[in-house]
A and B are shown apart, each in its own frame.
Chain A
């Protein structure tokens, strides 16, 4: 199984980028889980937590709304403001 390439982007910087096995986020319709091989999606996210699961650990950040696009295992999460205080690895790995 291939991995997801994830980019988490805030208005003023790139917060996190790297590989992940699963991404979860809260969209308008409810919680959304993305795994490799997902069909292309553009979803509107609401305020809440975004989880990026990679190699057994999980990065959790809080965003204030934004959107998420999935396309060919490339996941881009865009938010205006990201609270990255809980990140365990620094930006850009």
Chain B
């Protein structure tokens, strides 16, 4: 076998093994994304119940809570950036980081300090590589977050918020995450988490008076005290789960196009190898014919 032909065959084999890997990753991501979407759906009852209760208290009782009060002159803005632990998911992590950089500019333009909180190893390495400081980070769970993690993050963030910027905390908290719209569309979202704006339920239950008159036990302020941190936790939990689903969907898509590319390459290399083989045969035939006719000429 000629050298040229051997080289093409070797390359084709190497691409074939790459294709096997990307195909496997695609299938794994595809099966996990179903599970991740299911988890997002399963948390909806909890989020809905908390949102309803929180808006009931907020519309009902005239209570000012520290978590809902806007600071007069915010100095430090905390930003929770939710990325993935691993790459090979197309532009998933890059999109989130790009968006967080835009937010950073916005925050710094308005004269505030940008205080990053990171989740996912991709965000950590992005900050480490640029030797930029970050306040805190969590990682190792990006494609299947647990509720404990959400609770830990929310406790930390609420703690920082209640401290306020004068004591090294923050005055605002934003979240950058990826919202899962469907399998092909995932959008990077920026939302303000604190100070809280309780969004009222889209469908009012009793049109004439909005929410029924609640009795609060022990009292409205304390119910709010128990409710609002849970509301924050459920928002973070939801953001983590949506990001996980988005990451898996992005990985599936990236691996699908990698597999398609590999197939294309294999086809090209097979054609090139065939061409090389054909050229070799043609050359051999013309050598034989040439040799034979030389012999026949010599006999004459």
Contacts and interface: CB of A to CB of B under 8 A. Distances in A.
Interface of A: 7, 9-14, 27-29, 32, 39-44, 65-67, 69, 71-72, 76, 78, 80-81
A73 to B, nearest CB: 11
Given A12-B39, A12-B42, A40 B234 contact: no
B219 to A, nearest CB: 10
B147 A12 contact: yes
Q: Which 5 A-B pairs have the closest CB atoms?
A: A43-B217, A40-B212, A44-B226, A14-B45, A13-B42
A42 B217 contact: yes
Interface in B157-210: 205
Contacts of B46: 9-12, 14, 78
B53 interface: yes
A80 B49 contact: no
Contacts of A27: 217-218
Given A14-B42, A44-B222, A44-B227, 6 more contacts: A9-B46, A10-B46, A11-B150, A12-B147, A71-B214, A72-B212
Contacts of B234: 11
Given A12-B42, A67-B226, A32 B215 contact: no
A29 B214 contact: no
B223 interface: yes
A80 B213 CA distance: 26
A7 B49 contact: yes
B237 A11 contact: yes
9 contacts: A11-B234, A27-B217, A29-B217, A42-B217, A44-B218, A65-B226, A67-B230, A80-B233, A81-B147
B43 interface: yes
A69 B230 contact: no
Nearest to B234: A11
Contact of A67 (B150, B223, B233, B237): B223
A29 to B, nearest CB: 5
Contact of B223 (A7, A12, A42): A42
